[in-house]
Chain A
Amino acid sequence: MTADTTWHAGHTLLRAYVEGRLDAVLGASLERHLDGCPACRADIRPLVDPPLLDQSWSGLRTAVESPPPPWLVRLARRLGLPESTGVLLAATASLRTAWLSSAFVALGFAVAATLLRGDVLWPFLLVAPLIPVLGVAAAYGPSEDPFEALAVTAPYGRTRLILVRSLAVLVTSVPGACLLGLAVPGPAWVAVAWLGPALTMLPLVLALASWVGPRLAGAVMALVWCGVVLGSVRRLPATWPVEATQQLTYLALATAAVAVLLVRSRRTRRIGAVL
């Protein structure tokens, strides 16, 4: 800017600026000058409260010297989520790389089985909806979470925690499963139609879990879904489990499950009793 000007701000002016005694026009003029004048910027240094600078340096130093957080925490921060949420997400069992990769290996096998036979859909329809459902069921619960005890005592709504984690599980598992679904033979809409039963089973699992806990609820839900898909294999068309009439039934079931959840969380006041 005006780097080559011979004028420099005097001590009184800088002091008035630092102490907030300059009006905005003078202040803005001085700031424009400081933008291009390293000498005046250096003159400000003794005028600023040393503790403030020490505090910011020690914080900066700690941050620079500490190891980088897990990729999930960094991703969450990049997306604008608070760091606390990121840490809670990173501790979710079903968001760990091992869980995600095993889920997709299972789905990969299902897709491969469907492709090899060519005329069946059931392996894909069986596995795809269960991935987010079991992911959500495993996203909380005493046995899977290494810091469950911390999570329960943290001042962070349990329902909110579960919803945030469920959402994260959906975000991580659904797009990949949809892409794999495109590889499956049969009508293209099957690649997204399995979301109907998947999204139905989520509230069902949560509602069931409020009585019997997430592990049993996940297992029951998986068995029921296996029954539905395998039962339809013999006599009904391959896409039967995801056709329009069935989707309406799923919608009704989902609504009922949400209603049950709402009623139960209204009735029970004890923290963590429902979800």
Chain B
Amino acid sequence: METADGNHQARGDADLLRAAADGDLAALRELHDRHAPWLTARLLRRCNDREVVVDVVQDTFLTMWQDARKWRGDGELAGWLWGIAFRRMVSRLRARKAVVLMPDWDAGATGMLPAAEDQVLLGVEYGDLGDALRRLSPAFRAVVQACVLDGLTTREASRLLGVRENTVKTRLHRAKAQLRCSLADARLEGWR
């Protein structure tokens, strides 16, 4: 296995996944090495229970291995993995309440001023949108986070947030309207 590792490092995710599905443990290991760290970090931002996170990561890779043939191979494997992982995590809510947290919208914002590189990141990705997002009320942000950023359906989001599906829909709708408004304001202020 040690000798095979060298070959594996250069191979693409799709290739490795095919090999893993055929029973190549080293390929599975390489996939785990590539994707488990960021998946763990990302889940830990949403869940305060490390045991649950480890379980979910493990489950996610097991599902990936079992359903390897279902992956159509378009897009990034990372996106597919995240879809599996976060849904797993949300379904945990049925068994254990109050395990899943949403990322904190306020912590760190004051404690850590965006360094130059973060400004670049914001510029690249969201720009004005970041400020507009920060202006939303906590309930609306949670819905935007769940439905837009984390890619849940309204049904899954309603389970995660503990509100009715219709409430999720209304909040998402209003949040979008507010975002649109504050973006328009930001543009106009710039031109004044």
Using a CB–CB cutoff of 8 Å, the interface residues on chain A facing chain B are: 2, 5, 7, 9-10, 12-13, 16-18, 20-36, 38, 41-42, 44-45, 47-49, 52-53, 55-57, 59-61, 63-65
Contacts and interface: CB of A to CB of B under 8 A. Distances in A.
17 contacts: A12-B115, A13-B117, A16-B112, A21-B112, A22-B112, A23-B107, A23-B109, A24-B105, A25-B134, A28-B103, A34-B42, A44-B41, A48-B37, A60-B58, A60-B65, A64-B28, A64-B65
Interface string B74-102: 00101100100000000000000000001
B45 A20 contact: yes
B53 interface: yes
Interface in B28-45: 28-29, 32-38, 40-42, 44-45
Contacts of B41: 17-18, 44, 47-48
Nearest to A63: B62
B121 A9 contact: yes
Nearest to B82: A35
- Majority SS of interface residues in chain B? helix
A23 B104 contact: yes
Given A29-B125, A59-B58, A60-B58, A24 B40 contact: no
Contact of B34 (A12, A22, A41, A56): A41
B145 interface: yes
A45 B121 contact: no
B25 interface: yes
B124 A13 contact: no
B176 to A, nearest CB: 16
B2 interface: no
B73 interface: no
A56 B61 contact: yes
B37 A53 contact: yes
B71 to A, nearest CB: 16
A7 B120 contact: yes
B108 A53 contact: no
Given A60-B58, A64-B62, A24 B29 contact: no
Given A33-B121, A59-B54, A26 B114 contact: yes
B188 interface: no
B164 interface: no
